[in-house]
Structure 1
Amino acid sequence: MTHLEEELHHLHEEMVEMGNLVKMQIEKSLTALIEEDVDLAREVIFNEKRVNAYELSIDKDCENILALLNPFASDMRFVFATLKINTNFERIGDSAEGIAKYILQSGKCFDKELLNDCHFFEMADTVKQMLHAVTSSYADNNAKLARTVFKQDIILDEINKSSTDNIALYINKRPENIYQALYLLTIIRKLERVGDHITNIAEEIIFHIEAKVLKHIKSAAKEEEDLNE
């Protein structure tokens, strides 16, 4: 194995570790919200330091490979894709930390009726499935698995679109829970954004494996869909 191959292998393993850590962060933050586990929420906030450390280390490794080892063709695509994937995972980690902080600020368990009215359980399960798909697809170089998240992201978009009306209806029924409802609305917005970061990761995985750029094609399709609504 050449020095370049060793460094690329190390980078791949490090990125897999970060992806699994971020997946765990999201899973723990959602579990903490549903089960009112403030200790678990504090653990998520504490572990954000590890996510940031991974991001800095991976960025540095990518820069060193590009500057010192002169990768080309598929190796170059892999490094550039990993750089972008790294950024998106770090931002997902930020969202997990943000959710954990809202749990501590809310001061009490989120009303199950509120969670049901906003389809929160479905949203949480979908996010977890999407994260599992992209972490596995990166680890196994599986472009087919990466593509599965695009359809799931539509579910998140629909739940997010309906959330304002659902929250308003809930507040009319339970005005005493207005702050809790507004916290949940912000969390739903964060999870929708997590879905966007996951689809960005999937696009980069496909770019690395198949040398296909999907970003502008997807953006154009989304703009056309928005115009037709």
Structure 2
Amino acid sequence: MEDILHHQSSQFDEELGRLRSDVLRMGGLVENQVATAIEAYGACDPRAIEETIARDQDINALEKQIDDESAQLIARRQPTAVDLRLVFGIIKIVTDLERIGDEAKKIAKGVRRICAAGSQPTQFAPAILHLAETVLVMVRESLDAFARLDSGLAQKVIVDDNGVDAEFKSIVRQLITHMTEEPNTISMVMDVIWIARSVERIGDHAKNVGEHVIFIVEGQDVRHRRLSSNGGAV
């Protein structure tokens, strides 16, 4: 991957380096936002709820900044094909990171509604928290894959999303059964379902980041393809 990271123009190298650093800084904010949203769910913590919601503004601002930097870099440097892959990959990655932030905010708002109604989502916490912890690892590994331009780790993230999807479907089945047996909990359980959906969507966006990393490193578009654990299409 030296062709991606090193160029004849040292100034171009520096600009690309700053761009990659900004993406990782945004990723760190997003990862922390997801962790705080999970904390809010587990503890009905008002501080964590409001912190998760407020942080979304910083993430949105970083997305715009990185998009602007990317557009300016393309206009000034007219990068070659391999460098364009990196820049276009970055543009796509920050879009998915911003959407992860949106889903974290949705989780926090759902928790706020549940807690404001005097309900406690704790009886469903073990399943939701297990799913969320799995997804948080996916987010972290997708960012590590980008930082190291590691297509193997990116493939792992993509494959891991299959387990998240299966676990989410199992949780929804359990929640629907609970609503059927206890109709008075329908409003609260619906909020829990939407929280679980947001967690599952975060996994989808982490998978997307993995796909973008593979595009950057290998020039392959693996979107809409199912990958096996060894990285091959199935």
* TM-score normalised by L of structure 2: 0.87
Gaps of 5+ in 1: 220-224
1:114 — aligned with what?
124
Relative to structure 2, which stretch is displaced further, 174-183 or 98-107?
174-183
The 3 A distance-change label for structure 1 pair 156 and 20 is: same
1:72 — aligned with what?
80
Structure 2 Cα separation of the partners of residues 149 and 68 of structure 1: 34
1:158 — aligned with what?
166
Give 1:50 deviation, angstroms. Answer: 0.3
**SS of equivalent to 1:27:** helix
Q: Is 1:59–2:63 an aligned residue pair?
A: no
1:37-186 aligned within 5 A:
37-106=45-114, 107=116, 108=118, 110-116=120-126, 119-186=127-194
Q: Is the 8 A contact 2:103 2:202 kept in 1?
A: yes
Gaps of 5+ in 2: 1-8, 228-233
Relative to structure 2, which stretch is displaced further, 119-128 or 77-86?
119-128
**Paired residue total:** 218
Alignment match of 2:219 (pick from 183, 187, 211): 211
Q: Is the 8 A contact 1:34 1:110 kept in 2?
A: no
**SS of equivalent to 1:217:** coil
Give 1:216 deviation, angstroms. Answer: 4.0
Q: Is 1:8–2:22 an aligned residue pair?
A: no
Q: Is the 8 A contact 1:33 1:110 kept in 2?
A: no
Relative to structure 2, which stretch is displaced further, 44-53 or 150-159?
150-159
**SS of equivalent to 2:56:** helix
Give 1:93 deviation, angstroms. Answer: 0.4
Structure 1 Cα separation of the partners of residues 107 and 123 of structure 2: 19
2:195 — aligned with what?
187
Give 1:152 deviation, angstroms. Answer: 1.6
Structure 1 Cα separation of the partners of residues 199 and 167 of structure 2: 10
Give 1:109 deviation, angstroms. Answer: 5.5
Structure 2 Cα separation of the partners of residues 145 and 165 of structure 1: 31
Identical-residue share of aligned pairs (%) = 29
Give 1:171 deviation, angstroms. Answer: 2.1
Structure 2 Cα separation of the partners of residues 215 and 12 of structure 1: 22
1:144-167 C-alpha deviation (Å, 9 max, x unpaired)? 111111222112211222333211
Q: Is the 8 A contact 2:44 2:112 kept in 1?
A: no
Name the aligned partner's letter for residue 84 of structure 2.
M
1:222 — aligned with what?
none
Name the aligned partner's letter for residue 147 of structure 1.
Q
Name the aligned partner's letter for residue 142 of structure 1.
D
Name the aligned partner's letter for residue 170 of structure 1.
H
Q: Is 1:18–2:32 an aligned residue pair?
A: no
**SS of equivalent to 1:215:** coil
Relative to structure 2, which stretch is displaced further, 172-181 or 3-12?
172-181
